[in-house]
Structure 1
């Protein structure tokens, strides 16, 4: 063993809480549960792979394990053309919470338009500290993480679409085609056009108009199994907002306003362990943000093995996991929409809340000409007379809209204290909002009546006892809540005495709020 190899093995001894032995066993088994949690660098070929790569497994002495794709590329390795590392789900379960949130913002494309100093300042840490955390937990610099994000997104588009290379460069976040070509050649040693030809697809020879470019785009969005797609569709079908969303047994569809252009987004089961995203008329610059929204909304990056191993130690949750493996945490389109849903749905049924949200869309179209939920500025001016909500809830909606419109708060960075200071916003709303936004895997609305009954065997368990019983579920209480809500909607007899399932009154808070 060379000194370099010895150093390599020492450095990758612990990868995202996995030992080298665990990584070795996972790649030999091609275990999809470890997809994205580490990458295998093959030093003899200068290629890095996902643990599910179908290629012949290399000898262990030729292997180094990496914490991230960026770390592998910073080491000088190229992505495998067979297993395609750009398709791996993200793995943030081992990262500090703040770093995980910042990494998600980079995936969204925010570093392409901003600076690392701005991201660090918004997180309340120094740029130097942020750089150190990147090196420690990801094995790569922030610059390399951003560069790898752009290159891997471009690789996906080169492989899966017929978009012209110029459009791909800008969609991935490069400022010019020259910078894209230089970065690609420097990282992968070949021209982008060469990769497309190797994949058996020549560069389009026509010159589509701006209107036609990217009119229809289809991408596969992988996840780690298990994944209960039917449960996710059922959740969204019950909560689909008229004129904005449509959901059936197989497809989720929604209108997405980007600037002055309306895109149509469809989600369905894809090939293997993946969902299929089909989008029509999306401005290409909005693609990173769309991918971020969909992956978070559909909880595609969750490590269900880790979550299940922890929550499954509780006998009750273990039974639910065995009955419904792969039930995840359905999210919302964005933080603002989830807040509107939570406020409108306070103390009413799902059907009632969706009716009101549909009226909001209709009135926004009538008053502002666009069929969408009102923006904060629009909500401040929108006519809400006779919309079906009590005056106190209308004041809550307007108060939140005013705070957002004037910049008093920003939902992506708002603290609990800031939110609770808004009229009509209480602990349940904040916890539920954080849970549905995917902002906190430990968010847990302990005062939720359905959770109280689920844990009380049909009787309303006091909040303090709910908190005590759920303490051992940290830091995954949001998933525990999702499992309990799912069980109560599907087979409540597993949790309660059916005779105790009395009808919920409108003045009691319920989970089935949208």
Structure 2
């Protein structure tokens, strides 16, 4: 078997022997990084599958589920490959592939390949060639397998009606969904469905991750910035309201005892939005990180080595690009507590009503703030003007949501009030850009012992952290108890 590339989240390629050792040990660190296919049964599994291990001569390995499916294998009903953390195998090898996979996971390829490839700035032929080279399958096959695996998870874990499951996965009719499901898995949806059908309790799903996850640390960071009514943290439970395009709702997230997984309960008024919303939640809590590799990389730096013990940090996200910008503008040069007070007033005045446990409203949308009277909130006239300008731009379709870090930063800096610090902060918190770096941050100056620091000094100090500078920032903020 050829070596399996693990991209920028691994410092080596997985060989057949390494996959074999991880499979026999049921090592959770490798969950989602490769899949085990059993020739005698025609089934593919996660490396953590609890079933008795098959004989080595009956096993072959694939670095993604789509490749296993293309080879004629169907997913295991016991370990359920659809719940594995997303594989990082494709990351870092080709920027176009990385961007394409991010869009596919967010539900952006449910139709023809032509418009999708144009969005990426390449021809459909070139995109097919890149996917074949890096993943071993075509873009459409990968997207279809991803859609159907998510459908399988919804059928197994949620109580959504089958038609809603079909809509959530990009199908326009139940018949087309059933046909595709049977062709891909050689199972009918009814053979996967568990329990009674209904929607009273919302859509319940399991979100797996690679350990360790410092859930308490994530909640501490988020609780300092939580906006009453929009977000609520109670014990180990996080809740918030959201809008996604025309859909709205709220979700609840909490750890599952004894498992490397979080329990998600999602209430969404439009089934078609469920898939991108779930992917957004995964990104918001950085659930696709390989923390052990990150630890190995950052612990090589003498500045960060002392901060890499215990639980590894993740990048806590903000729900949307627009919300991250508003939060950053409001928080410029004031305390977290002061920014939270102003933002709470903003949400109370302009947020839309939304019912949920300890929740009451959504964060205001761009259209609600464009041209709105922002006086009396505690904002300076200058910052109020900046927010109005930004809201007007976003209400007219502005976005920095695609492209690499440099292009996103450059796009954001065309907005009034957005400098280098703000642009990188938004990329870090809204897009999960691992190499975003707030070079002029006062907290970094203090943590690095720079009494009169400059961006040039912090950039030089962080050069060895690439491409994980954002995580280095989080480690240093954590070490200071920094309220950013």
TM-score w.r.t. the length of structure 1 is 0.86
Point out where structure 2 has 5 or more consecutive residues left out of the alignment: 7-12, 355-359
Instruction: Tell me what 2:298 maps to.
Output: 311
Point out where structure 1 has 5 or more consecutive residues left out of the alignment: 1-8, 490-510
Task: Measure the CA separation in 1 of the matches of 2:473 and 2:204.
Answer: 33
Task: Measure the CA separation in 2 of the matches of 1:169 and 1:214.
Answer: 19
CA RMSD of aligned residues (A): 2.4
SS at match of 1:111: coil
Note the C-alpha offset of 1:405.
Answer: 2.3
Task: Measure the CA separation in 1 of the matches of 2:307 and 2:214.
Answer: 13
Bigger Cα displacement from structure 2, 275-284 vs 324-333 = 275-284
**Residue 380 to residue 51, structure 1, CA distance change in 2 (3 Å):** same
Larger Rg: 1
Cα displacement string for residues 306-325 of structure 1 (whole angstroms, at most 9, x for unaligned residues): 11111111133222111x32
1:328 pairs, out of 307, 314, 326, with 314
Instruction: Tell me what 2:173 maps to.
Output: 176
Cα displacement string for residues 347-385 of structure 1 (whole angstroms, at most 9, x for unaligned residues): 1111111111111112214999x9333222221121101
Task: Measure the CA separation in 1 of the matches of 2:253 and 2:95.
Answer: 28
1:290 pairs, out of 273, 277, 290, with 277
Task: Measure the CA separation in 2 of the matches of 1:31 and 1:468.
Answer: 37
Matched, 1:438 2:431: yes
2:380 pairs, out of 385, 390, 406, with 390
Note the C-alpha offset of 1:296.
Answer: 0.3
Instruction: Tell me what 1:455 maps to.
Output: 448
Cα displacement string for residues 451-498 of structure 1 (whole angstroms, at most 9, x for unaligned residues): 111112x63433222111111111111111111111111xxxxxxxxx
Are the aligned partners of 1:66 and 1:72 in contact in 2 as well (CA < 8 Å)?
yes
Task: Measure the CA separation in 2 of the matches of 1:15 and 1:401.
Answer: 42
Task: Measure the CA separation in 2 of the matches of 1:13 and 1:261.
Answer: 43
SS at match of 2:421: helix
Note the C-alpha offset of 1:448.
Answer: 0.6
**Residue 70 to residue 257, structure 1, CA distance change in 2 (3 Å):** same
Runs of 4+ that moved beyond 6 A: none
2:410 pairs, out of 393, 408, 417, with 417
Instruction: Tell me what 1:5 maps to.
Output: none
**Residue 269 to residue 83, structure 1, CA distance change in 2 (3 Å):** same
Instruction: Tell me what 2:10 maps to.
Output: none
Instruction: Tell me what 2:141 maps to.
Output: 144
Task: Measure the CA separation in 2 of the matches of 1:278 and 1:366.
Answer: 21
Note the C-alpha offset of 1:94.
Answer: 4.5
Task: Measure the CA separation in 2 of the matches of 1:179 and 1:298.
Answer: 34
Instruction: Tell me what 1:153 maps to.
Output: 150
Instruction: Tell me what 1:26 maps to.
Output: 22
**Residue 487 to residue 164, structure 1, CA distance change in 2 (3 Å):** same
**Residue 218 to residue 467, structure 1, CA distance change in 2 (3 Å):** same
Instruction: Tell me what 1:186 maps to.
Output: 183
Task: Measure the CA separation in 1 of the matches of 2:332 and 2:311.
Answer: 30
Task: Measure the CA separation in 2 of the matches of 1:281 and 1:409.
Answer: 24
SS at match of 1:256: strand
SS at match of 2:109: helix
Task: Measure the CA separation in 1 of the matches of 2:200 and 2:74.
Answer: 27
Note the C-alpha offset of 1:123.
Answer: 2.4
Number of residue pairs aligned between Structure 1 and Structure 2: 468
Note the C-alpha offset of 1:242.
Answer: 2.0
Matched, 1:58 2:54: yes
Cα displacement string for residues 211-240 of structure 1 (whole angstroms, at most 9, x for unaligned residues): xx3652211100000110000111111111
